[in-house]
Structure 1
């Protein structure tokens, strides 16, 4: 039993590094899906495609106990990797910079172990290999294709480099914020840089608007309200002697609930039009809501914390990090449908790349997380563990 477990851990690390070297963007994960399905076939675990590149696998389907789902996300990001690891991405402009390669490998390791002890499982277990988490609403499409059919409870996790290695954060209630993006187009009158009086400068208006928008959080919202408004781009390309016709501002918001999102969206639109009018330029605002806040169900979150402390001890819980984390997760879709919980598990052990934040070109998943997460998933479904 112990020997097989060690074999699974070794294979999980190999798979993680293979996936890392061959990343694929959301809704393009054909090779990743094929690798997952090939391993499920080798384990004699039945599966079906879900939402195209997603995969659902089922264990102990006739079990009479609680039906639990375990989720891993599989997509990568449009980032050029800057690490020097032997398993560095071999696909330019695409990188597993958020650890989804590790999430997938941990779920495959769990698949191997749960198949090994399948006769001792109480209820059915569904393994959810989900595409397009990074802004592609993959969870929503998996649900639409029946991923949660007959499932009673779902669990997921994310590695988190900002937390000390092995510490688990899984609060009751909100754990990660909702998000959205926006685009503001300012239409001016272009012309020669020597004659600004004949122009209506969209760059000047954009500069003022950036300052105004960044004050939404500090001056228009209560200090206790967890909100972020970030301007992430200004596009007003022109020649050195030309005032352009147009400037486009892009940005992102992070909010704790729907009410806060609606309030921030209203302020972005109102402030944009007022600032534009003061500079006599036209204004169009486009707001794109993305994910809701990820809100844990209290009983499921307690299950995760209890399982983790049973494996390790109470000192392994993260009691220092402030919640909600301002990042977002489409696991929120699942939690709006059925009970469940989402945990963050610390990855930072001081290793060369394990302190870099997610979405950094220098990030790399900490392979030391594969075993504890496989133990956690096994514990959550009531599977026996090796000594």
Structure 2
């Protein structure tokens, strides 16, 4: 199979690929028109099951409510896993494409339809070469990535049993088609969520001296929280504290009793991650006390950082360069990914594939370039085979 990528023209030529490319784009568009939220991907699961059954790919019965795990190859030798995710986001689509979401308020704004189509394509290509595989390739079509729960569901169900290495992808709208990047070590960030309840004393807006202003207190807290990183974390470490929601009051002439803040913390270093909650508590308690109010922190730990195995990250980059991608060593990302949970159990690598969207992830107008789908599928087919040969020493 001869594959070449033209990075600047956003086109590619693949010998003998045109029919499969059309099929994968059709899959992507059908998925895009019918998005489903995390743990509600019932129709998506059925579509994927039907497509794999039609291709003769065996599906593993793991008792999953949503999501699919399938396998290709002999029942001996090493096992390499490839993971795609299948859930959508609660976003009203504004892309204007003719295959826009038919479900109001739900959209594939992160490209999981793209990822699913890539792994389906890899499955089709691997199935055609099944008798030549020196081991098994296990295919994960994972639910609930956006809720950071799907990877744990698959692990609990036994999807990682006997897996020797795992690879996953995310499309990268900021990169041109034909570009590939990853890195060893910490790649995506730890993801934690917090909420803060600020309690003051309600009063008439004309007589603030009779109350304790929770809105003013909240405003001071938002500003003070920026010092958690700037004055407590080394400039050589990556950390972000963002307040993303403020809710308080319900009319124009009353000082509310309470205000709630919500936000997220992103880090790469576990030691930094551990120190931030206590520092937030100190800051909010001190600011609130100074203004006569009280503040309580509620902390919700999320997925850990995606820490790629250096061996497999380098292996992925080398395979991508051989394939014809323009490769880059990635910079660390502050976004989160529950692929991290797999890497706590088995070695592997998470990679970025350029998708050249004018609008970024989670944007209502997000629209990845579909010409990137087939090459990515062919790459993952080759990567899986190369990894199996690496594991068998051939």
TM-score clears 0.5:
yes
Task: Give the 3-state SS of the residue equivalent to 1:338 in structure 2.
Answer: coil
User: Within the alignment, does 1:60 sit opposite 2:63 as a pair?
Assistant: no
CA contact (8 A) 2:74 2:134 kept: no
Separation (CA, whole Å) in 1 of partners of 2:361 and 2:95? 13
Structure 1: gaps spanning 5 or more residues? 349-353
Partner of 1:166: 178
User: Within the alignment, does 1:318 sit opposite 2:331 as a pair?
Assistant: no
Summarize the alignment of residues 1-387 of structure 1 with structure 2, pairs less than 5 Å apart. Answer: 5-50=17-62, 51-64=64-77, 66-312=78-324, 316-319=326-329, 323-348=331-356, 354-382=357-385
Separation (CA, whole Å) in 2 of partners of 1:305 and 1:346? 14
Task: Give the 3-state SS of the residue equivalent to 1:318 in structure 2.
Answer: strand
Partner of 2:390: none
Q: Using a 3 Å threshold, how does the CA distance of structure 1 residues 84 and 49 change in structure 2: closer, same or farther?
A: farther
Structure 2: gaps spanning 5 or more residues? 2-13, 387-394
TM-score calculated relative to the size of structure 1: 0.93
Q: CA deviation at 1:4?
A: 6.3
CA contact (8 A) 2:309 2:349 kept: yes
CA contact (8 A) 1:347 1:355 kept: no
Which moved further from structure 2: 365-374 or 81-90? 365-374
Separation (CA, whole Å) in 2 of partners of 1:137 and 1:30? 16
Q: CA deviation at 1:62?
A: 1.9
CA contact (8 A) 1:27 1:136 kept: no
Separation (CA, whole Å) in 2 of partners of 1:139 and 1:293? 14
Task: Give the 3-state SS of the residue equivalent to 1:330 in structure 2.
Answer: coil
Q: CA deviation at 1:250?
A: 0.5
Partner of 2:10: none
Partner of 1:351: none
CA contact (8 A) 2:203 2:211 kept: yes
Separation (CA, whole Å) in 1 of partners of 2:284 and 2:120? 48
CA deviations over 1:117-140 (Å, ceiling 9, x no partner): 111111111001100001232101
Task: Give the 3-state SS of the residue equivalent to 2:333 in structure 1.
Answer: coil
Separation (CA, whole Å) in 2 of partners of 1:60 and 1:116? 10
Aligned residues: CA RMSD:
1.5
CA contact (8 A) 1:257 1:292 kept: no
Which moved further from structure 2: 75-84 or 363-372? 363-372
Separation (CA, whole Å) in 2 of partners of 1:29 and 1:345? 24
